[in-house]
Amino acid sequence: MKKVLFFLLSFLAFANVNAQIVNPVKWSSKVEKISDTEFNLVMEGKIEDNWHVYSQFTPEGGPLAAEFKFKDAKGNYELVGKVKESPYKKQYNDVFEVDEYYFEKKVTFIQKVKILNPNLTTIKATIDYQVCKEVCINQDNAFTFSLPKTVTANPEAVVVGVDTTQVDTTQVAKAEVKSTTTVEVAQPKEADDKGLWTIFIFALLGGFAATFTPCVYPMIPMTVSFFLKQSDNKSKGRFNAIFYGACIVLICFAITIPFHIFEGISRDIFSEISTNVYLNIFFFLIFVIFAISFFGAFEITMPSSLSNKVDKASDKGGLIGIFFMALTLIIVSFSCIGPALGFVFGTSLNSDGGALILSIAMLGFGFGLALPFMFFALTPSLLGNMPKSGGWLNTVKVVFGFIELALAFKFLSNADIGMDLHLLHREVFIAIWIAVFGALALYLFGKMTLPHDSPLSHLSVGRMLLGVTSLAFTVYLIPGLWGAPLKLISAFPPPMTYSESPQGFGSKTTVESNTKLPDGAELTVHNLVSFTDYQTGVAYAKKVNKPIMIDFTGKQCVNCRLMENNVWSDEKVLEILKNDLVLISLYGDDKKELPQAEQYVTKEGKEITTVGKKWSEFQITRFNNNSRPLYVLLDLNEKELNTPVAYTPNIDEYLAWLKDGVSKFK
């Protein structure tokens, strides 16, 4: 599958090699009146097909997050809260090893402001953002919001339909006034069928696993036998047992209904949940409490008064009685299935998938929990073949406790990254997992016992195999402390950039001790010597009489990293880059402020205030291109040796391009 995707990306990149200036996002803005002194500043972007814009909440270490600047606020107005945005999509990026938050088709940003200066007529703002397809572009757009000059009793919204690529005062003057206080927010794209099925199946397996706990497993033969013996005939008994299972599924689904209501009130509630630091800490604490409960320290039970009332309702008989029997099972066995329910809820709410994802997950969980009851109702003759209850059930429960404890730290990691505390670095996270799964291996091998364990005279085959698996997984994790990628669990630990040793513990980050770096140069990927200032690099190239290769790149550029990892790492390519060229890497997303003397405003009114904006503007004005990555070969007169190339994942094609440029220089 990866090879197919690699080929597809190669084809798309080749088709866009000679792409010129592109502007995939068309912006408009409007002002919504809330009260006499409060307004919503609304920025809406229409995104071309196959392009996507990253959210302002994109995690550190990933693609460039959207940033907003509101000018001349002091004494004129104040910002009320942070910029709100329409629901985004979430997808794991295995290059950056973080989740990407992005928008497709359309995006809406809203900033609430309170006016302090009654004579204020306009508010100016800018957005810096990254828009990507097979290449990434850094763009910034300016907005001019025209405030209403008169105040009326009725709320009204002043809509300014401004494409900020061509903002002028005539467009603002033509602002259309509409009687509305609502904002049309982009609808999130629904998850595809394959993704929903995957969620359903994993939740189903979780529900099925929950049946192998001391609270549920003994109930299976008892419940099925009860229905078969209490009914007039076997067909009716089987129907009642199957209906009992269906009620379990229905109850699990019904738990999610309030979340659909919440989502109707606030469409971005799931986005807020998944990125909220305090909710992530709350989920961490809940998971730890559930894990300790599974270890046998205490039991989490529902109030006895509730279970007694529901149990009495089940005596009514008929289908209603069966429904309350199913509800009784869930309440009474909560100490065993509660942690599993918490895991499904926690991961679903943290997925930004909306109430639909939660409902699909709970349907799967309910079906997995009900499946044994339904199966043995249809095949009662197999009841006698079920393994007898015993101490092994508590072992299963303890294993779930260890897994629950390990997963808890994913939520704590989210909170730590969100607050940028750098307390739970990647190495610390992996060390915790090594300790948890190492302890699990010791437990399974009988070297540790917990309060409710039965005496262990020997290891069963299943327990031994599970112990070996846990031990092997623990050993697999250990190299992660020294920078190994750990692709099997790449979705769980913090990214490599969020670590004590981003290059890997003990990695060589300097050239040979007897080699001195040129002034203004630094060591980059694959120990390549690179200049980050254009003029400094050109001067050095003239000194050593070598052609120049400009690498228009970005710190958060996915395809730049793919090129470096998959193409530049090739032995023949790397040899040319090291020996035959002077490499100049210009980062278009560098947020470092330029010295005041170097800041300027372009003819189009764009403010160049950072290093990244400087090199982005240089790329546009000099090479009429704003895509990244972009590779340009120049001679010592700073003229192009051949046609620049963008993302080129085919090694042979990229190597041929390098050789062609070097040959023409010679």
Q: What CATH number does residue 633 fall under?
A: 3.40.30.10
SS3 string, 440-469, reads: HHHHHCCCCCCCCCCCCCCCCHHHHHHHHH
Pairing of strands 89-93, 176-178: unpaired
Position 7 in a domain: no
Given 136, 156, 178, which residue is the final one in a domain? 178
Same domain, 336 and 379: yes
d(CA 583, CA 527): 12
Same domain, 457 and 530: no
Residue 350: give the domain boundaries.
Answer: 190-386
Tally of structural domains, the chain: 4
Rg (CA), the chain: 30
Position 4 in a domain: no
354-378 and 257-265 are packed helices; what angle lies between their axes, rounded to 10 degrees? 170
SS3 string, 262-304, reads: HHHHCCCHHHHHHHCHHHHHHHHHHHHHHHHHHHCCCCCCCCH
Higher model confidence: residue 263 or residue 220? 220
Residue pLDDT, tens place only, 154-191 = 334 444 434 443 333 333 333 333 333 333 333 333 33
134-153 burial, b for 16+ CB within 10 Å, e for fewer?
bbbbbbbbbbbbbbbeeeee
Same domain, 459 and 565: no
Q: Which of 45-54, 329-338, 445-454, 503-512 has the highest mean pLDDT?
A: 45-54
d(CA 609, CA 602): 11
Beta carbons of 369 and 253 less than 8 angstroms apart: no
Amino acid occupying residue 573: V
Confidence of residue 603 (pLDDT cuts 50, 70, 90): confident
3-state secondary structure of 408: helix
Same domain, 372 and 400: no
Average pLDDT (191-217) is: 73
Position 22 in a domain: no
Given 335, 368, 386, which residue is the final one in a domain? 386
Residue pLDDT, tens place only, 488-525 = 776 677 766 567 775 555 554 444 444 578 988 988 77
Higher model confidence: residue 322 or residue 149? 322
Position 516 in a domain: no
What would the two tokens of residue 373 be?
A: 């009851």
Given 477, 507, 537, which residue is the final one in a domain? 507
